[in-house]
Amino acid sequence: MILDLVSYALISLGMVILVTASFALYRFPDIYMRLHASSKASTGGTLTLLLGLLLRGVTIAEGGKIVLVIALILATGPITAHAIARAAHVRGYSGVTLQPTENNTSDGGEEPR
């Protein structure tokens, strides 16, 4: 009973993380911000959802497959995000440049680029 509630909570939390990250992909203007959101979705949301599935009382074979998928996501997710960010950096993509406003001026004396 309690294990089922924890499982449902983890699956629900994983779905909330994935839906929130999908809105972030639409909302964020920059490749680096979008990459951050997608990497959080792939690691945080998917792993939470898979852990919830693991607690559902699966067989040993199903549990082994879920553990293997978790290990692969943990191994490849950060590497993929780093490769995409590095490719964007090498191509010269600087991201969003913030322009100063009346309330946000630099005290260093330098003009922002």
The predicted-structure confidence for 10-30, as pLDDT tens digits, reads as follows 999 999 999 998 888 888 888
The predicted-structure confidence for 55-83, as pLDDT tens digits, reads as follows 987 889 999 999 999 999 999 988 999 99
CA 32 to the chain's CA centroid: 12
For the whole prediction, is pTM greater than 0.85? no
Give the distance between the most distant pair of CA atoms in the chain: 65
Q: What are phi and psi of 21, to 5 degrees?
A: -65, -35
Spans of all domains in the chain: 2-90
> Helix, strand, or coil here: 112?
coil
| 67 Cβ neighbours under 8 A, 6+ residues apart | 54
